[in-house]
Amino acid sequence: MRLVRLWRYSSTLLALIFLHTHSAKALEVKVSADALERTLKAQLFSGADGRYYIRGDAHSACYVYAESPHVVFKADRVIVHVHTRSKLGTGLRSTCLGVGLTTEADVSLVPEAEGESIGFRDARIDHLSESRELNFFLVPFLSRKLPSQMKVNAADLIGKLLSQSVSTTGYALKLDALKLHSMVVDHDSLIVDVDANLSVR
């Protein structure tokens, strides 16, 4: 049993030393749609009941909010679907004098490398409401706010994983450098090509 453990640790160490003694190594990282969805929920839909208020808040008589984000991949784009609810009009005490609307909205994005981060560009609204007043709030949210909050810093993410390396491998692993080169949607994964330097202590 001890011999098996020793072999595993030795193999791990040799692999890490190999990475460390060479220049930056190209890696291929696969990111699922579920992972991007969790990121979006954590960074933007973390309020009460998983809602993001575009106008007003949970105590407002009149409001617009989005909820239940769902991320899928289609062709070369990332599709984000959200459910929206709104009460538009004039607030009078605790009542909104106006109309209530419920609709679905879709925006598609192209993934793009931004230094150490997975970013998104070319926001294209694929499905919107038929209300001009509601769209006045939804368009900036879907085309600017939502893409900016989906950004994932790959260096921070990998760094957090490596911070647990001492307890899992017995070696302290550190990410010294990371550079994202390209990314492309391939079926059910976002494929990210990166160069990384690791050190072992």
Taking every pair of Cα atoms in the chain, the longest distance, rounded to a whole number of angstroms, is 76
Indicate if 96 and 189 belong to the same structural domain.
Answer: no
Q: Does residue 78 belong to any structural domain of this protein?
A: yes
Domain count, the chain: 2
Percent of the chain whose predicted confidence (pLDDT) is above 70: 88
Residue 11 lies in a domain: no
- Quote the Cα angle for 90-92-94, to 5°: 115
Residue that is last in its domain, among 152, 170, 185: 152
13 in a structural domain: no
Question: The domain containing residue 72 runs over which residues?
Answer: 33-152
DSSP string, 145-183: IHHHHT-EEHHHHHHHHHTTHHHHHSS-EEEEEEEEEEE
Q: Based on the fold, state whether residues 139 and 57 are members of the same structural domain.
A: yes
Residues 138 and 170 in one domain: no
63 and 127 fall within a common domain: yes
What string of DSSP letters covers 2-58? HHHHHHHHHHHHHHHHHHHTSSPEEEEEEEEHHHHHHHHHHHTS-SGGG-EEEES-T
109 Cα distance to chain centroid:
12
Question: What three-state secondary structure class fits 142?
Answer: helix
Task: Classify residue 113: in a domain, yes or no.
Answer: yes
Q: What is the pLDDT of residues 83-142, one digit of tens each?
A: 999 999 888 878 898 889 999 999 999 999 888 888 999 999 999 998 999 999 999 999
Residues 100 and 170 both lie in one domain:
no
Reported as a pLDDT band with limits 50, 70 and 90, residue 25 is low
Rounded to two decimals, what is the model's pTM? Answer: 0.78
